[in-house]
Amino acid sequence: SQWGKEELAWDPLLEKRVKKVNYGGSWPKRNEGFWQEIDEWAPHIKKLEFFGGEPLMIERHYEILEKCIELGVAKDISISYNTNGSIFPEDKVHLWQQFKDVHIFFSIDDINERFNYIRHPGNFPDVVQNVGNFLKLEGNFKFGIFQTIGILNIVTMTELTTFMNKFFDIPIHYNMVFQPEHMSPKVLPKNIKNIITEKFTGSQPEYVTNTLNFMNGEQYSDEKWKQFIHTTKFSDEYRGEDFTTVFPEFYEIMGNYGKVI
C-alpha cells in the first residue's frame, strides 16, 4: 500500500493496477473461511512460510500459530519468515518455541543510510539491534540474510558482508534484481558496467563474480536506464531524500557517463 501511494503520485493512470495489487493483498481479510478451516488442515501441515510486506506486522497470522499449538501439532511444523528486520516481537517468542523449528531470514541489502534509502523508510540501527535480539534466542531457531543486489547497491555490494561478518555470525544468501528492469544492474550503460567491473578486479568472493557476470551478461534497454533516472528524481522529491548524497561513489561513477541526476 505504501508503494501504491507513491506510484499513484508518479502516475495517476496506474490506479487500476495499484487497486488490483492491494485487492490481492487483502485476500485474508476477505476470506473468513480461510481462518475457520484452520482446524481442518492444521494436522496435515509440515511447514508454514510467511512472506510480506512485513509478515511480523500481520497480527492475525499469530492466530494460526496459536491454533496449531492448541491442536497439539505445532511440534511437527516448521516455520519460515522473510522479514525486513524492523520488528522484534518479543511477546510472540513463546509461540515460536512450541514449533519444530523456526527459520527467520532478514532482507537486508546494504548498510547505514543506503539501507534506509533502499528499504525506505528503514532504520538501519533499529534493524541491527533487532537482528541482535533475534540471534540471542535459544533453541529451535535458524537465521539467514538475503541480500538482493540491484542497481543501487552493486557498487557497494561487499560492505554488507564485511559489516555482518564483523558483528554477527549469520549466513548471507545473495540474490539479484531481474525485475523491475530499471532497478536491475543489467540496465547500467556499458561504460558504467566496465568501471564497476574494474573496481572488483582481482580475487573476489564467488557472489561478487556471479553478480558481475549477471550484470554483464545482458544489456537492458536505454529506455529502462532513463526510467531509473526519472523515477529516482521523483522518489527523492516525494520522500525528501537525495540519491546523490546517499550514494556518492555510484554518483561519481555516473559522472563519468555524464551526470544525469
On the question of pLDDT at 29 being above 80, the answer is no
Residue 31, pLDDT score: 75
217 pLDDT tier (thresholds 50, 70, 90): very high
**What is the SS3 assignment for the chain?**
CHHHHHHHHHCHHHHHHHHHHHHHHCHHHHCHHHHHCHHHHHHHCCEEEECCCCHHHCCCHHHHHHHHHHCCCHHHCEEEEEECCCCCCHHHHHHHCCCCEEEEEEECCCCHHHHHHHCCCCCHHHHHHHHHHHHCCCCCEEEEEEEEECCCCCCCCCHHHHHHHHHCCCCEEEEECCCCHHHCHHHCCHHHHHHHHHHCCCCCCHHHHHHHHHHHCCCCCHHHHHHHHHHHHHHHHHHCCCHHHHCHHHHHHHHCCCCCC
pLDDT digits 0-9 by tens, 130-157: 999 999 998 899 999 999 999 999 999 9
- Does the pLDDT value for residue 76 go beyond 90? yes
Q: Does pLDDT of 242 surpass 80?
A: yes
Average pLDDT over residues 119-127: 93
> Mean per-residue pLDDT for 23-45?
78
Say if residue 84's pLDDT is above 70: yes
- List the single range of 54-68, 110-124, 169-183, 214-228 with lowest mean pLDDT: 54-68
What pLDDT is stored for residue 16 in this prediction?
Answer: 73
- pTM greater than the 0.85 cutoff: yes
User: Over the stretch 162-200, which tens digit does the pLDDT of each residue have?
Assistant: 999 999 989 999 999 999 999 999 999 999 999 999 999
Give 41's pLDDT tier (boundaries 50, 70, 90). Answer: confident
- pLDDT of 204 > 60? The answer is yes
Instruction: Tell whether the model's pLDDT for residue 207 goes beyond 90.
Output: yes
Could you tell me which residue, 63 or 17, shows the higher pLDDT? 63
